Amino acid sequence: MLRILCMGEKVQTMQRNIAIGLLPLLGACAATAIPPASTVPAPSASAITTPANPPRQQPRVAPQTSNFTPPRVMNIPGLENVIGKNIRGLQRQFGAPRLNVQEGDARKLQYSGEACVLDIYLYPLSPGAEPTATYVDARRASDGLDVDRAACAAAMAR
């Protein structure tokens, strides 16, 4: 019986030591101070001004340079009916594009359907020439993963 009492005292001592050991941790949680409120006065209604709307500007076109770099033309089997076509030829083949973005002398046409999204990039082959399709990109409409360009172009053609 004496042995049982000694064991009970040891358990109580261990519990007390654990509790004492945890006190600094609890104190750290309770010691976070709340910063004092700011004493900066709020601006008066007369001091608040609304900025004037800036004047509308016309978009600037990049200047023509004499350092023309001809584009690389994609050469993939199955795209022979796309590469080299101008915008009118592409619209006859695919209809009106979903997007028609012009930047400088380059243009991007985007066609989309259930199966895929087809991006056709048109660049002039020489300075001042009409842009023609030089590059095609295709991806699934659902998740944007790449798909076969020729198969997408065939699916999008009317």
Give the burial class of 136: count Cβ atoms within 10 A of its Cβ; 0-12 exposed, 13-18 middle, 19 or more buried: buried
Average pLDDT score, the chain? 80
Token pair recorded at residue 137: 């990109």
94 domain residue, yes or no: yes
pLDDT confidence band for 49 (50 / 70 / 90): low
Q: Which residue spans within 91-131 are E strands per DSSP?
A: 99-103, 106-112, 116-123
Residue 51 forms part of a structural domain? no
Contact 135, 85 (CB under 8 A): no
Q: Is residue 65 part of a domain?
A: no
Query: Looking at the domain assignment, is residue 127 inside a domain?
Result: yes
Q: Considering the domain boundaries, does residue 107 fall inside one? A: yes
Residue 29 — pLDDT band, cuts 50, 70, 90?
low
Domains contained in the chain, number: 1
Global pTM? Answer: 0.59
Here the tokens at position 89 are: 């030829």
Task: Determine, yes or no, domain membership for 70.
Answer: no
In a domain, 74, yes or no: no
| Domain of residue 104, CATH code | 3.30.1450
63 domain residue, yes or no: no
The pLDDT assigned to 11 comes to 56
- Whether residue 2 is predicted with pLDDT greater than 50 in this model: the reply is no
- Domain with 99 in it: 87-156
